[in-house]
Amino acid sequence: MPEQPQTLTPLAQLGEFGLIRRLAQSARAQQPGTRTAIGDDAAVLQPTPGLQQVISTDLLLEGIHFDLTFCPLRHLGYKAVAVNVSDVAAMNARPTQLVMGLAAGARFSVEALEELYAGIRLACDAYGVDLVGGDTTTSPGGHLLLSVTVLGEAAPEAIVRRSGGQPTDLLCVSGDLGAAYLGLQVLNREKAVFLDDPEAQPELENYAYVVQRQLRPEARMDVIHELAELGVVPTAMIDVSDGLASEVLHLCRESGVGARVYQDRLPLAEETLEVAEEFKLDPTTCALNGGEDYELLFTVPLALHDKVRNHPDITVIGHLVPPDQGAYLVLPSGTQVELQAQGWTAF
């Protein structure tokens, strides 16, 4: 826990401009294309000649996407950047700049928002992204709202869409699945205990892995760089934010194909299996229909099997099939279960 300052500064004491100065003092730009960052009416960017730009945006709303009862602001700042960078990674592009919209109410102190920005800056440093601007306003209901837009770039021939998958391509996923969903179950349980008895100390030591997967996910830029080193350009790619089933179905729909996913191939961490057992949840369901893993799901031609097979952080979980064969999970018994999209945020 960071040490709490003796007195907290109310937002009103600094005013909008003072707050922006405190929060957004910009570090030196890391990207050569960043010509003017925070402080002017608009940022000025120089795209790298020959590369195409990608842009993606995400809204994170308190009460919908995060719960400040158990989400430290520093982690939230990091996650807000990481989930955006994950979308750039899923295009096989490199992130370059970031714009941050922020609405907060009077219940937040200047110091609390500085914590948020410490996390934002940490993630910007980790991914080599420049924070080049944003907007700050008050939130009448008091809820915290973050609106994050990230820019990135890639050579036109390197950009990977959801639509490029071909029947017989191998279906691959990075890292492991289902842990973030179980982390959320642990945090929700501890929250209920805390609301019952505010003196209770949260018991999270045994759940470090799954809780960290929920609170502080990483964008898999490392996998993007490694694929490039291997000379592998996926045919299609998507990041796993809503659970594997939903992402496989997106990829199939956009590529006009079907898929077979083998249950016994799903990458599940030991911790995920243990926590799932404790919560009496099926780990396969956590992987398929949980969410927020932020791993990469991608397809490669069969001919590249050897290049991905031996990678310690990539698992071949199945393959694509012609569209009339549908998208199914294949159980070890051979039984096939149709994949259903559950989605993460219920509307």
Binding residues for ligand ADP (CB under 6 A) = 20, 23-24, 38-41, 100, 102, 131, 133-136
Residue-wise DSSP of 176-232: --SHHHHHHHHHHHHHHHHHH-TTPPP--GGGHHHHHHHHS----HHHHHHHHHHT-
Shortest distance in whole angstroms from residue 1 CB to ligand ADP: 25
Q: What angle do CA 296, 83, 23 make, to 5 degrees?
A: 155
Whether the Cβ atoms of residue 141 and residue 43 lie closer than 8 Å to each other: no
**Shortest approach of ligand ADP to residue 64 CB, angstroms?**
20
Does residue 135 interact with Mg ion by CB under 5 A? yes
Nearer to Mg ion, 125 or 135 (CB): 135
The neighbour count for residue 127, using CB atoms within 10 Å, is 24
Size of the site for Mg ion (CB under 5 A): 1
Q: How far is the CB of 93 from ligand ADP (least distance, A)?
A: 22
Nearer to ligand ADP, 135 or 203 (CB): 135
Q: Would you call 43 helix, strand, or coil by DSSP? A: coil
Instruction: Compare residues 36 and 53 and give the one whose CB is closer to ligand ADP.
Output: 36
Binding pattern to Mg ion, positions 86-125, x when CB under 5 A? ----------------------------------------
110 binds, among Mg ion, ligand ADP, none (CB under 5 to 8 A by kind): none
Which of Mg ion, ligand ADP, none binds 20 (CB below 5-8 Å, type-dependent)? ligand ADP
**Which of ligand ADP, Mg ion, none sits in contact with 9, Cβ below 5 to 8 A by type?**
none
List, in sequence order, every residue forming a beta bridge with 101; answer none if it has no partner. 135, 147
Closer to ligand ADP by Cβ: residue 38 or 219: 38
Q: Which residue is nearest to Mg ion (CB)?
A: 135
* Least distance CB 31 / ligand ADP (angstroms): 16
What tokens appear for 285 in the block? Answer: 């369901």
Tell me how far, at minimum, the Cβ of 97 lies from ligand ADP, in Å. Answer: 11
Which structure tokens are listed for 149?
A: 């837009």
Minimum distance of ligand ADP from residue 119's CB (angstroms): 13
Nearest to ligand ADP of 3, 41 (CB atom):
41
- Which backbone phi and psi does 204 adopt, to 5 degrees? -120, -5
Give ∠ CA 268-271-273 in degrees, rounded to 5.
55
Burial of 307 (0-12, 13-18, 19+ CB in 10 A): middle
CB of 121 to ligand ADP, least distance (A): 10
**Tokens describing residue 171:** 């279906």
Burial 231-253, CB ≥16 within 10 A → b, else e: ebbbbbbbbbbbbbbbbbbbbbe
Minimal distance in Å, beta carbon 58 to ligand ADP?
A: 15
107: tokens are 């219940």
Nearest CA-CA partner of 299 in 346, 344, 260, 347: 260
Q: Which segment (93-101, 130-138, 182-190, 205-213) binds Mg ion by CB under 5 A? A: 130-138
Tell me if 296 sits within 8 A of 241, measured CB to CB.
Answer: no
Q: Taking CB within 5 to 8 Å according to partner kind, which of ligand ADP, Mg ion, none is near residue 100?
A: ligand ADP
273 binds, among ligand ADP, Mg ion, none (CB under 5 to 8 A by kind): none
| Nearer to ligand ADP among residue 76 and residue 244 (C-beta) | 76
The site for Mg ion (CB under 5 A) is made up of: 135
